[in-house]
Every structure is written in C-alpha cells, then in structure tokens.
C-alpha cells in the first residue's frame, strides 16, 4: 500500500527512501547509516507513502489511533509478566517543526497512563554538572511504556555544535557515545524511533508569523527564535551530521517531511504502528485456575 | 442545568449532595468535612447532575474534551510566565472501580505533554524507608501541569488500616499529616481534586467475572483480588474515615457514583472542567514588539 500511495503523490521522501516492495514508511523514511546526508535533497512538502491528501489522512487516523491504543495495551500487559520491551520516540526538528503538535495529535491516541513524555529544555545547572546523557537516562520509558522525548540528547550535538557550547573534540566524541548508549537501550528491549521533523525555511517563517498574528500564541514566541532562524544553514549541517553518524541499525533515524501537518501526524503514527506491530506484544496468560476463581467469586 | 438534570434522573448522589441553585457537580458530589460519612447511603448507580443516559453522556463528552484541552493549554501557557497554578486529580476506589478507565477516557482528552500520571503500587523497600508522603511529594505536577494519581497517599490510611500495616497510633496521626500536606499544596497553587469512585459490591463481582471471562483481561486479574474483596466492609469503613477526616476546604473529597461507566467519565470530566473554569487561566501577553518582530521575520 505504501508503495502504491507513494506513486500516487508522485513524490519521494529523499534519494535513499526505500523502493518498491519495501516495508512501509519505516523503509521509505529511514536514513541509511554512514552515508552523506544532504537535507536539501529531501522535500519537506513531500508525502512519501502517505494518503492522497488531507481529507484521506484525517480519515485514516481514527482507525490507526485504535490500533495504536490496542498495541500499547498489549505491550503494557506483557510487561506485567516480565517482558522488558518498550518504545522510545525521539522527536527533533527546527523550531516550529511540530514536535509539540505531534505529541498532542499522535501520542494523544495512547492511554496516558502508559506514556512518559519529557520535553528537554536548556540544561539546568545540576544537569550541566553531569555527563550529557545523565538527564536523558533518568527519563527513559519503563518496560511496557511508550516514552516520548521532545528534544533529546541530540541537542548536545545540535545547539551545542552551532553555538559552540563545548570544544570541538568533545563534541566529536559525543556521536560515538550516543551510538553506544542507544545500542545498550536496544539490547535492553527499547525500540528507539528517532524522527527528524523536516520543515522548510519558508514554512518556518509562515509559522512564526502565525504565532505573531494570534495573541493566544504569543506565549509560544520569543525573540530568540529569530536569532536561531538566522543560523538555519548551521543547524541544517548539524542535523546532517547527526543523521549520518547516528543512524544505526540499533536506532535508525527517520526523516519525516513536516511542512504538511496532516502528513507529519500520519507518518509518525504509521511509524509507531509499524514498530509496534513488529514487536507483536501479546497479552500474558493468567497464572490462576479460571474456573476455581469464578466459583469463589460467585460464592461472594 | 445540573439541578434540572438531577431532577430528571430522579436520583440523588447522597444525603449531603448539594441542592437547588448550587454550583455544578462540585457541589453535588462534595463530601462536607468533619461529618460522619455512611457510604451505604450513596447509591453507586445514581447519576447526580448527569446527562439523562449513556447516549446523551457520550454526546456531551466530545465538546467537554475540547474545553478541557483548551483550558489545559491556557494553564500551561500561564505557567511559562510564572503562574504556579496546577491541578492534581487523586483517584481512589475499590478494585475495578475504574481508576484506570477514568485515566484512559477522561485524561485522554488532555495534551499528554502537560499531564503527569502516576500509579502508586505497593511501596518499594526504598519508599518504605521514608515517611509515607515522601514518594507522593516527588510525583506532584509542576506548575501548569495536570497531575493524576491512580491511588495515592490515601493507601496509607486504607490498606494500611485494613491490613494493619502500621500501629493504630501512627495511623491516627496520618490523617492530620495528610491535611497539612494538602493544605500546603493548595497554598502553593495546587488545586487538589480528590475523587472516590464508588462502586457496589455486586458491580465489583460482575467486573471481576468479566475479567475472568475474557482471556485478554486475565493480566488484570489476580487471586489476591478475591481476598481483598472479602474485606469489603473493612475497606468501606476505612474509606468513610478518610472521607470524613480529610475532606477539607483546601482539598475536598468528591464521591462519584461509578457503577455506570458513562456517568463516572462524565462526572470526573465535569469536575475537572468546573475546577479549571474556576481557575480561569489566561494566555500571557508577549514581552516583545509584534510589529518589529514581524518586520524582522519578513526580511528573512
């Protein structure tokens, strides 16, 4: 289905994005590790593998939400008998790329009691006294949970690079540290789904202007956003390095074109769905005699 | 409206439940502090203030969900400029009373990034080494958040009383400690909404049997549930004491009849709505010159 739909929209996610017969958006959007990444070759308005348009996407989302919630319940149920598996969705992207909107619309499909959402801001003084992965390790999902990072340890090779917050040599070692860390997570049963929400420079301008035009959105805006925007090429380069150095088999990166919000939401939901379906969590069997328990209950 | 609807269903929530002209379910369901509570006088199948039936309740829920989400966003936005206010929903009730279902259906209306859900289980060895409020204090909502406790510090005067886990004298001091703790929370801007989900002994039997009948629900069942059920009168008494000793002005208790799931969900949503509307959080104003920022953005 993904391949067919992709032909329909006539657009590709990027030069490396899957091929006929490949498995879902996981293959279409995945960044192959170790190869040079040029984000200018990925069209932020494209809709690889997606529905034909906004109406179709909105229609597709309700049944997807049900399947996500059902798989989440199974994953959680399995954890009660020792299954350590869990999912960690890492959301990264330029300002206004829709990290918050994705949490609201996609993660909103799940039962909140099985979700652990963490938005990482500028590190606190205490956090700065520890190695950069320290604060991240504390917020990992427990077995059976869906964890969501709105920003993450990648900030430590993104803004840290662009703003030269650490010496270049230390920065260079961080990519390897991230890969080791994520490999350990995978070995411990964490399915790490790293999503780069890819918007265009023009779309960011429109979204920032939209925030200025609506007084109810002024709280989301601050003057620093304009200064960060001025560093767009530097951020793009930092993202390209993170994508090419840290898209491992254990924890691949996915580039989700995000100029169209309906595609972004659909694609992240679909990515989670494909990963959860691959995990195929099952309800555990009871360790009790059903008939005996029923008889005892009926006697009360 | 609440009063009119209440007449329509012809049922009362309990002997103390509000009166004509009182303000919403907050008044109808509130437990007056300091008075003797007899839970047998509250009908678990009643629907005080609620819609006429299940269909009407389901219809009412969608617009309520929108209002809840909108108020939550305002609360969160206000916190970004120093407003410390937040909400803490405490859910208590016998096994199968629907604490988990309430989180799924009611809290699911909110943006997950502004929610902090914590289910309290039997205390860990580390937790047992600390005063009983220690583990609770760590999980409180931050300013702007909606916190949800699925079970809470009240377990320390419920199961702790029924199972005699602590000496009676220490137990007696806990009620006052809880009242002091919740008063401090209120003084710090926390709106504490304590809900006792009130089901009947018969309804619990049906729900436990339902779990036995469906293999996909076996993971929710354990043999201990039947033993706990045998202590029903003791638990009821423990709840009555908690309700009468800890329904303070700073943090009142609400008894939500919970045999009908549609009423339970409606009532908890309505309670949250009334509290959030009373808070009336507002989007903060921007601290920047809109025209200047717009001009700078348009130049990029």
Closest chain A CA to residue B149: A113
How far is the C-alpha of A284 from the C-alpha of A287, rounded, in Å?
Answer: 9
Question: Does A107 sit within 8 Å of B286, measured CB to CB?
Answer: no
B195 secondary structure, DSSP code: E
Residues of A in contact with B296 (CB under 8 A): 226
Q: Which helix (H) or strand (E) holds B101?
A: helix B99-105
How far is the C-alpha of B210 from the C-alpha of B217, rounded, in Å?
Answer: 8
Residues of B in contact with A141 (CB under 8 A): none
Rounded percentage of chain B residues whose pLDDT exceeds 90: 91
Does residue B14 surpass a pLDDT of 90? no
Closest chain B CA to residue A232: B300
Alpha-carbon Rg for chain A in angstroms: 21
How far is the C-alpha of B276 from the C-alpha of A88, rounded, in Å?
Answer: 31
At B174, the pLDDT band (50, 70, 90 cuts) reads very high
Closest chain B CA to residue A149: B113
Closest chain A CA to residue B232: A300
Over the range A48-59, which residues count as b (16 or more CB within 10 Å of their CB) and which as e? Answer: bbbbeeeeebee
Closest chain B CA to residue A209: B294
Closest chain A CA to residue B202: A300
Does residue B39 surpass a pLDDT of 50? yes
Residues of chain A with pLDDT under 70: 1-22
Among B80, B218, B220, select the one facing A285 at the smallest CB separation.
Answer: B218
Residues of A in contact with B104 (CB under 8 A): 111-113
> Of the candidates A168, A166, A157, which has an alpha carbon nearest to the alpha carbon of residue A128?
A166
In A126-228, where do the E strands start and end? 146-150, 190-198
Shortest alpha-carbon distance between residue A77 and chain B (Å):
6
Question: Does B298 sit within 8 Å of A209, measured CB to CB?
Answer: yes
Among A219, A284, A300, select the one facing B205 at the smallest CB separation.
Answer: A300
Question: Does B77 sit within 8 Å of A288, measured CB to CB?
Answer: no
Shortest alpha-carbon distance between residue B208 and chain A (Å):
8
Q: What share of chain A is helix, strand, coil (3-state, %, to 5)?
A: 55, 10, 35
- pLDDT score at A284: 96
Does residue B7 surpass a pLDDT of 70? no
Contact between residue A160 and residue A171 where contact means Cβ atoms under 8 Å apart: yes
Residues of B in contact with A220 (CB under 8 A): 77
How far is the C-alpha of A36 from the C-alpha of A57, rounded, in Å?
Answer: 32
pTM for the full model? Answer: 0.92
Residues of A in contact with B218 (CB under 8 A): 283-286, 288, 290
Closest chain B CA to residue A214: B290
- pLDDT score at B16: 39
- pLDDT score at B33: 85
Residue matched to tokens 């779309």:
A203
Residues of A in contact with B100 (CB under 8 A): 113
Which tens digit of pLDDT belongs to each residue from B114-132?
999 999 999 999 999 999 9
The stretch B136-145 carries a mean pLDDT of 98
Axis-axis angle for helices A232-245, A168-187 (nearest 10) = 50
Among B113, B148, B285, select the one facing A218 at the smallest CB separation.
Answer: B285
Chain A residues with CB within 8 Å of chain B CB: 77, 80-81, 100, 103-104, 107-108, 110-113, 115, 117, 119, 148, 150, 205, 208-209, 212, 215-216, 218-223, 226, 229-230, 283-286, 288, 290, 293-294, 296-298, 300
How far is the C-alpha of A275 from the C-alpha of A127, rounded, in Å?
Answer: 31
Contact between residue A41 and residue A14 where contact means Cβ atoms under 8 Å apart: yes
Question: Does B119 sit within 8 Å of A112, measured CB to CB?
Answer: no
Among A113, A117, A297, select the one facing B226 at the smallest CB separation.
Answer: A297
Residues of A in contact with B219 (CB under 8 A): 77, 80-81, 283-284, 286
Among A77, A219, A297, select the one facing B205 at the smallest CB separation.
Answer: A297
How far is the C-alpha of B281 from the C-alpha of A164, rounded, in Å?
Answer: 39
At B5, the pLDDT band (50, 70, 90 cuts) reads very low
């Amino acid at each position: 289905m993904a391949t067919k739909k992709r032909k329909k929209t006539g657009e590709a996610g990027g030069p490396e994005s899957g091929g006929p017969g490949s498995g879902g958006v996981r293959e279409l959007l995945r960044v192959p590790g170790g190869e040079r990444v040029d984000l200018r070759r990925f069209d932020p308005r494209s809709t690889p593998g997606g529905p034909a348009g906004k109406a179709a996407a909105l229609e597709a989302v309700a049944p997807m939400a049900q399947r996500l919630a059902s798989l989440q319940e199974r994953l959680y149920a399995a954890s009660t008998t020792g299954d350590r598996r869990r999912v960690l969705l890492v959301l990264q992207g330029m300002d206004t790329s829709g990290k918050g909107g994705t949490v609201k619309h996609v993660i909103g499909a799940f039962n909140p009691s099985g979700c652990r959402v963490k938005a990482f801001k500028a590190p606190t003084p205490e956090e700065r006294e520890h190695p950069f992965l320290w604060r991240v390790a504390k917020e990992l999902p427990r077995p059976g949970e869906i964890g969501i990072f709105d920003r993450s340890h990648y900030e430590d090779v993104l803004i840290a690079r662009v703003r030269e917050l650490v010496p270049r040599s230390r920065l260079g070692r961080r990519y390897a540290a991230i890969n080791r860390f994520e490999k350990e997570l995978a070995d411990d049963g964490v399915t790490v789904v790293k999503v780069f929400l890819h918007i265009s420079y023009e779309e960011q301008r429109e979204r920032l202007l939209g925030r200025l035009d609506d007084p109810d959105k002024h709280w989301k805006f601050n003057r620093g956003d304009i200064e960060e925007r001025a560093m767009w090429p530097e951020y793009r380069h930092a993202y390209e390095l993170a994508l090419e150095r840290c898209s491992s088999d254990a924890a691949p990166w996915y580039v989700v074109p995000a100029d169209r919000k309906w595609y972004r939401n659909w694609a992240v939901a679909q990515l989670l769905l494909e990963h959860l379906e691959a995990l195929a969590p099952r309800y555990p069997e009871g360790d009790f005699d059903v008939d005996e328990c029923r008889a005892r209950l009926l006697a009360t």
